[in-house]
Amino acid sequence: MKSNGRVRTALLTLSLACAVMTVMTTPAAAAVVVVGVDLGGGWQASWPVSLDGLVSMTGEVVGDVLIVRKTAEFTQPPVNGIFPTIPIVFTQNAVLAATHIVIDDESIQNSTGVDWRDFHIDLLGGGTVFDSVSTANSGGPDPIGWDIAPFKQAAFTTLKRLDIWDGIVPAGQSWLPGDGTGGGQLWLDVFPNPDSFTSFWLKETPTPEPATVCLLAFGGIALLTKRGRRVAG
């Protein structure tokens, strides 16, 4: 009886995981942020020490615009259909600071062992928002003016959220949004405060390909069922 109860619980968990795979976790406020880099333009970027060696960033200042180039490697597999996020904190560190932060080129490595079906970028805190107009006019392709290939669809679902979907980034491969001279740029409007320096989070989260996650989950249920039968026997 106990074995059957465990199997039913696992099946319910699987159903919920497959139904809400686009739900994302919020980065823990208590995360210890110790690795950082001065980007120039009155801004620095930092991230948890656990991501040391997996994230790198450089900055170039042009007028009131800070142009950022970033690399990130996702290594952790999904838990219940949800990948651990990569959170980056942008912190103002000068009175005179850039009012626009532009992501020019990114290199994002999928080392999770699981294919990605879509990708999400969220902005948390500081009043920072996506500038969809400047992004659309930055010289990149449709649908948003920032190259997202191999994905085909993207939308700013709110001023603080960019959803990217309709494509696959296979496990073991890199995704290069905004790459090249015609790749466009992703623009953020930021609001530095000369009296009380501000900060905000940029959170990136992939979503696993559904079939892969469900297969992994069903494999776990099969193992649980087999163990239950051994106990019952």
Q: Parse the chain into domains and list their residue ranges.
A: 2-232
**Among 130, 131, 112, residue whose Cα is nearest residue 175:** 112
- Name the 3-class secondary structure at 178: coil
Q: Order of strands across the sheet with 161-165?
A: 33-40, 43-48, 86-92, 199-208, 116-124, 161-165, 153-158
Residue 183 confidence (pLDDT): 97
Residue 35 confidence (pLDDT): 86
The answer to whether the CB of 21 falls within 8 A of the CB of 207 is: yes
**Among 76, 60, 73, residue whose Cα is nearest residue 113:** 76
**131, burial (CB in 10 Å: exposed 0-12, middle 13-18, buried 19+):** buried
The answer to whether the CB of 122 falls within 8 A of the CB of 160 is: yes
Cα–Cα distances in angstroms (integers) from residue 155 to residues 89, 180, 231, in the given order: 23, 21, 51
Tell me the β-bridge partners of 206. 119
Distance separating alpha carbons of residues 46 and 87, to the nearest angstrom: 9
Distance separating alpha carbons of residues 27 and 123, to the nearest angstrom: 11
Radius of gyration of the chain (CA): 20
The answer to whether the CB of 205 falls within 8 A of the CB of 120 is: yes
pLDDT in tens, the chain (233 residues): 444 444 333 333 333 334 333 333 444 444 465 789 999 999 999 999 999 999 999 999 999 999 999 999 999 999 998 999 999 999 999 999 999 999 999 999 999 999 999 999 999 999 999 999 999 999 999 999 999 999 999 999 999 999 999 999 999 999 999 998 999 999 999 999 999 999 999 999 999 976 444 444 444 444 444 455 555 55
Distance separating alpha carbons of residues 87 and 123, to the nearest angstrom: 10
Residue 51 confidence (pLDDT): 94
- Name the 3-class secondary structure at 175: strand
**Among 130, 155, 159, residue whose Cα is nearest residue 143:** 155
